[in-house]
Each structure stands twice: as structure tokens, then as C-alpha cells.
């Protein structure tokens, strides 16, 4: 009987200790959960405060506590990555051309001309205007826009590093942590893609060519899709691309037939805006003699893809395109 009583007491003790341990584990989980909630709440509260920031041109700009009607022409990619919907979206040709690759998020957003006419901007009644570069605020444009709503200039140069632009936009909205999370996810995706593509094609060279109005353009080594291909993915740069990039500040530069004949790319991403018109330039003997063309290593995309743009959404899609094409 004493032994039975002892075993009963021992079992009771173990059961008690087990429940205590479980309780402590739940308490730890609850504490961790509470900490995360407090962190999220603090970030939300911080974003909800009216703040004064200094933009790239030295303006002290008071950012509204919770901007609801944002215009950030040609920066919509960054807004979408942060879960922000602008009140109007960039367009050219009277709204006929937009950033198609963003339309899953912007399909119901009206367009605004890329040069942001004062009257049109005012008609949208924005509570915050974000400009990509100082060139968009030349002359008295800044004062005009700022008379409509607080106006913040992101960068000084015509082509600013997209990562820095994204972090700056994150700061404007008090969403620095969210921006960093998006960047971290992108860097991991790029590193994984780089490893897989390198295993597939090694040191073979790659070029991105845009065909529009029967004219060929080549992407810069360090801008737009060139930044993704050559910097993020570490792909080999053809000599012609290097040469043209050194003498141009444009994302895409026209390449003459003479230089096209020298293009020794092993793989070509072709963004074909002439498909509806027959793409007659692709029948030219010079094009047909490029190594990538002769070997069938041409990966054709239409201009509704993200190849012509830049930003966390566009570049992430380009990583997908490169993996899809170079590892099949």
C-alpha cells in the first residue's frame, strides 16, 4: 500500500510539473506574441504621427500623419511593394501606356500624365506629392506642387539607386522596417537565382535588347534590367554593352547596326514592342548573325512585362524571367 501511495504521489508530482512547464511555455509564447504586437503597434503609431523630414533638395517637408491621397509618379512600384495605393498612376500617350506589370494592384487607379501638369495634379486633391528626382521640380514647379500639397523630392540624380529610393520612401511613410523586409526578401531571392543560373550557363554573356519603332536599344550595364542582370545576378556583360554604358546616362541607349554586328551575347532577352507591326528588323542579316540568335538563345517578352522598369516589384519579376529563360 505504501508503494502504491508513493507511486500515486510521484505520478501526481510529474503531472503537476508537466502542467507548470506547459504553462510557462504558453506564457513565453504569449509574451513573444505580445512583444510582436507591441512592436507593430509602435510602428503604426509612429507612422500615424505628423513628421517633418528634409528631402533631397533640402526642403523641410511636413508629412501628413496618415496620407491617403498620394501622387508619386513613376514611383508606383515602391508604393505597391509597401501596400500603398496612389490616387493616380503614371502614364504616357494620354494614358495609353502605363506600367502594365503593376495592374494587379493599380487596375482601378486613374492615370495622370508623366509630366504632372499643375491643373491635373490639383484635380486629384492629393495630400502628399512625391517626386522621383530634382529634375521634376525644376524652375518654379516645386513651389507650384507644394502649394497643392506637401511635396517631397526623393533623389538629386536623374537615375537614383533603387534600393536607396525605396528606403527613402519607406522613411517618408514611417515604414522603414517594412521596406527593409522587402529588400531582405529580394536579396535572398536574387542570391538563390544567381546560384541556380550560374550552374546552368556559367560565364556565358547576356544582353537585354529593346526593339521599338524598328530601332534597337540596349540596356545600361547598371540601370533598369541591366542592374538586375549584371549586378544582382552577376551575369557576364558583352563588351558592346560595356562600351555603350560608359558613354550614356540613359536606362536604354540606341545601338547602331554597326555595334549590333559586334554584339557577341550568348543569350538575349528581347523586349519586342514591334510584334504587332511584324518586327521586320529581326529579319536583318546583322541580327540573324548574333551568336545568341544563331544558337536559338532568344527569350522574347512584350513591353507589358517589367523589363523596362525598376523597383522591388519589377526587379523581382525580372529574377523570375531570368530563371525561367536561362535554366530551362
pTM as predicted:
0.84
C-alpha cell at 76: 508606383
Give residue 47's pLDDT: 54
Residue with cell 517589367: 306
What is the C-alpha separation between 59 and 42, in angstroms, rounded? 27
Would you state the pLDDT for residue 8? 39
Q: Which of 12-16, 48-52, 72-76, 285-289 is predicted with the least confidence, judged by mean pLDDT?
A: 12-16
The count of other CB atoms within 10 Å of the CB of residue 80 is 22
For residues 186-207, give the mean pLDDT.
98
Question: What are the Cα distances from residue 281, in Å, to 101, 212, 249, 287?
Answer: 26, 10, 25, 8
Task: In whole angstroms, give the CA distance from residue 46 to residue 222.
Answer: 35
How far is it, in rounded angstroms, from Cα 295 to Cα 288? 10
Report the distance separating Cα 219 and Cα 214, nearest Å: 16
- Quick one: 90 exposed, middle or buried, by C-beta within 10 A (0-12, 13-18, 19+)? buried
Phi-psi region of 28 (alpha: psi -120 to 50; beta: other; left: phi over 0): alpha
Band of pLDDT at residue 78, cut at 50, 70 and 90: very high
% of the chain exceeding 70 in pLDDT: 85
d(CA 110, CA 125): 13
Distance from C-alpha of 75 to C-alpha of 172, rounded to nearest angstrom: 13
Lowest mean pLDDT, pick from 30-34, 109-113, 199-203: 30-34
Q: How far apart are CA 326 and CA 268, in angstroms?
A: 10
Contacts of 251 (CB under 8 A, 6+ apart): 159, 219, 220, 223, 224, 226, 308, 310
State yes or no: pLDDT of 14 exceeds 90: no
Instruction: Copy the grid coordinates of residue 206.
Output: 547576356
Q: At what angle do helices 176-201 and 312-326 cross, to 10 degrees?
A: 20
- Give the pairing of strands 111-113 and 89-91: parallel
Domains and CATH numbers, the chain: 51-174 (3.40.50.1980), 194-326 (3.40.50.1980)
Q: How far apart are CA 226 and CA 120, in angstroms?
A: 34
> What are the phi and psi torsion angles at 222 (to 5°)?
-120, 10
Amino acid at each position: 500500500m505504501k508503494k502504491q501511495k508513493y507511486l500515486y504521489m510521484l505520478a501526481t508530482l510529474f503531472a503537476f510539473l508537466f502542467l507548470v512547464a506547459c504553462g510557462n511555455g504558453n506564457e513565453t509564447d504569449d509574451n513573444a506574441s505580445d512583444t510582436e504586437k507591441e512592436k507593430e503597434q509602435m510602428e503604426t503609431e509612429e507612422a500615424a504621427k505628423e513628421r517633418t523630414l528634409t528631402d533631397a533638395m533640402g526642403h523641410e517637408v511636413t508629412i501628413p500623419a496618415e496620407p491617403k491621397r498620394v501622387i508619386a509618379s513613376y514611383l508606383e512600384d515602391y508604393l505597391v511593394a509597401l501596400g500603398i495605393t496612389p490616387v493616380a498612376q503614371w502614364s504616357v500617350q494620354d494614358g495609353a501606356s502605363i506600367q502594365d506589370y503593376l495592374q494587379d494592384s493599380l487596375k482601378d487607379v486613374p492615370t495622370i500624365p508623366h509630366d504632372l501638369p499643375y491643373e491635373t495634379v490639383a484635380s486629384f486633391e492629393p495630400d502628399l506629392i512625391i517626386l522621383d528626382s530634382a529634375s521634376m521640380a525644376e524652375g518654379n514647379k516645386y513651389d507650384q506642387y507644394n502649394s497643392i500639397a506637401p511635396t517631397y523630392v526623393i533623389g538629386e540624380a536623374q537615375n537614383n539607386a533603387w534600393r536607396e529610393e525605396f528606403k527613402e520612401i519607406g522613411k517618408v511613410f514611417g515604414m522603414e522596417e517594412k521596406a527593409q523586409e522587402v529588400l531582405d526578401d529580394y536579396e535572398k531571392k536574387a542570391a538563390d537565382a544567381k546560384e541556380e543560373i550560374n550552374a546552368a550557363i556559367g560565364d556565358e554573356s547576356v544582353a537585354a535588347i529593346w526593339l521599338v519603332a524598328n530601332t534597337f536599344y540596349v540596356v545600361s550595364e547598371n540601370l533598369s534590367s541591366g542592374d538586375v542582370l549584371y549586378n544582382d545576378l552577376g551575369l557576364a556583360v558583352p563588351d558592346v554593352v560595356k562600351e555603350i554604358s560608359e558613354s550614356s546616362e540613359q536606362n536604354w541607349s540606341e545601338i547602331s547596326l554597326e555595334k549590333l554586328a559586334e554584339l557577341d551575347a550568348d543569350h538575349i532577352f528581347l523586349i519586342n514592342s514591334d510584334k504587332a507591326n511584324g518586327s521586320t528588323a529581326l529579319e536583318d542579316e546583322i541580327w540573324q548573325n548574333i551568336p545568341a540568335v544563331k544558337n536559338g538563345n532568344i527569350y522574347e517578352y512584350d513591353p507589358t512585362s517589367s523589363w523596362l522598369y525598376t523597383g522591388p516589384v519589377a526587379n523581382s519579376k525580372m529574377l523570375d524571367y531570368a530563371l525561367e529563360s536561362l535554366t530551362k
